[in-house]
Amino acid sequence: MSSKCEICGKTPANGNRVSHANNRTKRRWMPNLQTVRVLQAGGNRKKTRVCAQCIRSGKTIAA
């Protein structure tokens, strides 16, 4: 299962983990995905994986 928001398309971000000795290793920032039931046209419900920002901003109509 991919870690991508089905509404806004947010995906993991890449970067470096930096230690006190300035050693750099790769790391990822994962989006805060939640599984919610969303109302679709016609009154049907569908489970989708949505980031918390889309839920907060009201881009989803939770059922």
Residue that is written with structure tokens 């990822």 in the block: 28
Q: Tens digit of pLDDT for each residue in 22-57?
A: 999 999 999 999 999 988 888 899 999 999 999 999
Instruction: Give the per-residue pLDDT at 41.
Output: 85
Contact 10, 4 (CB under 8 A): yes
Instruction: Give the per-residue pLDDT at 13.
Output: 97
Out of 3.40.1280.10, 2.30.170.40, 2.60.40.740, 3.10.20.600, select the CATH number for domain 13-57.
Answer: 2.30.170.40
Per-residue pLDDT band at 63 (split at 50, 70, 90): low
1 pLDDT higher than 80: no
Q: Which two tokens stand for residue 63?
A: 């059922």
Q: Which phi and psi angles does 7 have, rounded to 5°?
A: -100, -55
Q: Could you tell me the CA-to-CA distances from 22 to 16, 17, 31, 51 in Å, in that order? A: 10, 9, 26, 32
Question: Hey, where are the domains in the chain?
Answer: 13-57
Instruction: Give the per-residue pLDDT at 28.
Output: 97
